[in-house]
Amino acid sequence: MSAMADQRLITSEPGRDRQEADSSGVDITLIRWFLSLTPAQRLDYLQNHNDAILAIRARNARH
């Protein structure tokens, strides 16, 4: 788990946005967390996920 994800888990308040999330089906806390990041942090987070997807695809292509 990344340091950013760890921090999100530590600082989140369980159930705080439950009503909003339940009514629309969207995790509002996740949106707020992502928007709290700087643009550079967002790019870094997304690049890490992209790298992981590419690595998985490369492993699957070999099998």
pLDDT tens digit sequence for 5-52: 555 555 556 555 455 566 778 888 888 999 999 999 999 999 999 999
One-letter amino acid at 5 equals A
pTM of the model: 0.57
- CA–CA dist 61, 41 (Å, integer): 30
Q: How many domains does the chain have?
A: 1
Task: Tell me the residue range of the domain where 15 lies.
Answer: 3-61
Reported in sequence order, the residue ranges of 1-63 that DSSP labels E, i.e. its strands, are: none
